[in-house]
Amino acid sequence: MKVGVLVQRVGLIGLIFFLSIPLLAQSYFNELGKRITYADYEQKILSGPYFGVPGEKAGDQKLVHRMPAGLTNAKLFYEKLGMLADFQAGRPLVVIFYPGKDECNSAASTSDPKLLRSNHEAVLKYAQKFGTAPPVYLYQQAHGLEKYTGIHSWIPDPEGVFARQFFQFPYPCKSFVVISPKGNYRAILGEFPISQISVALKKL
């Protein structure tokens, strides 16, 4: 799937998931916290890499960029995963995050066993290419993960630390984050081409 088409598709999913009562929202804000019009808010979701999520006040809506990057306390995440040896060895983390069963990740197009196996093999290939720690698959809610039986296993988000830091809302399908031992991270929130993991690792 081309990235441009994916952005449009996920933009529409974002509207469905996060704009359930848009006309009742008190205010709309961009990703920097600046107040914007509803028309600008909707246009950014439809045409750019943004999701709309609840704001600080009841009814408010704000934009979040779907491809966040920055610095974090990397050691904390290695420690929570029991992977301090990888931290000390300088191996980046690759974490794929499943929020729970939703319309996106339960669709036939995202549930084909051949595709799931192929995606996992691609992740392993990227891990080997970039010398990362073994990829980690985390879930927030396990319902719907049965289709991965025999392909790879999932573990619960330890103490909810990844959800709090990177995945604060149930972004559709699944998300990922890559983290270097130095603290640099890159993520994609919501459905993504599996090749974007390789792109993110290259940019760490």
Residue 197, judged by CB atoms within 10 A of its CB (0-12, 13-18, 19+), counts as buried
pLDDT value at 5 more than 90? no
Instruction: Single out the residue of 177, 106, 189 nearest to residue 148, CA to CA.
Output: 106
Domain range annotation of the chain: 3-65, 69-203
The matching CATH number, chosen from 1.10.150.170, 1.20.120.520, 3.40.30.10, 3.40.50.280, for 69-203 is 3.40.30.10
Rounded average pLDDT over 119-127:
98
- Which tokens belong to 168? 């604060």
Q: What is the pLDDT of residue 20?
A: 43
Amino acid at 177: V
**Global confidence as pTM:** 0.84
Tens-place pLDDT, residues 136-182: 999 999 999 999 999 999 999 999 999 999 999 999 999 999 999 99
Instruction: Single out the residue of 117, 128, 160 nearest to residue 141, CA to CA.
Output: 160
Q: Map residue 1 onto helix, strand or coil.
A: coil
Helical spans, DSSP H, in the chain: 3-18, 38-47, 74-80, 84-88, 113-130, 161-165, 195-203
